[in-house]
Amino acid sequence: MAEGGGVSLDGILIPAATPFDPVTGDVEIVNLRTNVRAWLEHPILGIVLGGSTGEAVFLERDERRALLAGVRAVIPDDRLMVAGTGAESTRGTVALTRDAAEAGADAVLVQPPAYYRGAMTPEVLRRHYHAVADASPIPVILYQVPLRFSTVEFSTGLVAELSEHPNIIGIKDSRGDLAALSDLIIHSRDGFQVLVGSGAALYPSLEVGAAGGILGVANLVPGWAGELHAAFRSGDHVRAGTLQEQMGPLHKEIVAALGVPGVKFALDRLGLVGGDPRPPLAPLPEKVRPRVLAALERAGL
């Protein structure tokens, strides 16, 4: 069922890793489309392009456009394509957001500007997001970036205020703090959709009222993530709990502990295309790779 802005976020979205050509370093759209087709065989809601797992901070504007255009063609109308469009300036964010809308994105995921962190007061952030939402042809999702990254933290009060904007339909909260996520759900307007960003916390987040999740670990186990959400919604809490127990360790041992290099190495081992990250981000060190293999083996993958 559609929520605010006509876009329901009730489900699991995969923040797609971005493959790069090993020789030229260019974005490899063909391989990304291959990954997307494989993910869409599972009960997921859609794909996020240009997120943290997708190395968005390393992508140029024309690359973002090309990724969106290339992937839109393989995403059916009953699934979502969400674009990460956060930039350090309001002008830049609006430009990327309009690009995403023109490329067929259903919504945009907008992280806060954080370089001048001390100047990013609630009033400054409020003006920024209102300007982006006013200018955006498609719904806006706030993005609380993991605090281990260089970012600002939204207060519950600010999110509650921003939730009143008719074109701001939800937030992805990647702090991994269940109490903070619950506060967002309680204090935001009715119909505002809160998504969890931690694959280790999907089940308890759904219990407190989250709509779903944008989960890095879903790159590796889209079926588990999608089935967990579906089982919870159907009332099969035993199945949902079992899937959470299987998925949680993969999030902790690969996504949280090793980041993008770990996810991309695991994708390669699972028969999809990960490849190396874009420099200066380094590939997963050889000495760490057995940890990923062991985690996959323990999970039965």
DSSP string, 264-279: HHHHHHTTS---PPPT
- The answer to whether the CB of 281 falls within 8 A of the CB of 55 is yes
Mean pLDDT of the 278-289 span:
98
Q: Residue 281: its pLDDT value, please?
A: 97
Q: Residue 3: its pLDDT value, please?
A: 45
Query: To which CATH superfamily is domain 4-236 assigned?
Result: Aldolase class I (3.20.20.70)
Which whole-number Å values give the CA distances from 284 to 149, 275, 292, in the listed order?
A: 18, 10, 10
The closest of 211, 208, 203, 212 to 238, measured between CA atoms, is 203
Q: Is the pLDDT of residue 26 over 50?
A: yes
Q: Is the pLDDT of residue 51 over 70?
A: yes
Catalytic residues: 172
Give pTM, 2 decimals: 0.95
The DSSP letter of residue 20 is: B
Tokens 């992508």 belong to: 59
- Please provide the average confidence, as pLDDT, over all residues in the chain: 96
Q: Residue 146: its pLDDT value, please?
A: 85
Mean pLDDT of the 71-91 span:
97
Q: Residue 5: its pLDDT value, please?
A: 58
Mean pLDDT of the 82-101 span:
98
Half-sphere exposure of 253 (CA within 13 A, CB side): 19
Of all residues in the chain, the percent with pLDDT exceeding 70 is 98
Mean pLDDT of the 29-56 span:
97
φ, ψ for residue 227, nearest 5 deg: -70, -35
Q: Is the pLDDT of residue 37 over 70?
A: yes
Half-sphere exposure of 220 (CA within 13 A, CB side): 33
Task: Give domain limits for the chain.
Answer: 4-236
The SS3 assignment for 283 reads: coil
Q: Is the pLDDT of residue 4 over 60?
A: no
Read off the pLDDT of residues 215-226 as tens digits, 9 standing for 90 and up: 999 999 999 999
Read off the pLDDT of residues 153-180 as tens digits, 9 standing for 90 and up: 999 999 999 999 999 999 999 998 999 9
- The answer to whether the CB of 212 falls within 8 A of the CB of 198 is no
**CA 143 centroid distance within chain:** 9
Judge if the upstream peptide bond of residue 222 is cis by omega within 30 degrees of 0. Answer: no
Q: Residue 150: its pLDDT value, please?
A: 74
The SS3 assignment for 208 reads: coil
Read off the pLDDT of residues 238-271 as tens digits, 9 standing for 90 and up: 999 999 999 999 999 999 999 999 999 999 999 9
Q: Report the alpha-carbon distance of residue 85 to residue 72 in Å, rounded.
A: 16
**pLDDT tier at 2 (50, 70, 90 boundaries)?**
very low
Read off the pLDDT of residues 111-137 as tens digits, 9 standing for 90 and up: 999 999 999 999 999 999 999 999 999
Q: Residue 6: its pLDDT value, please?
A: 86
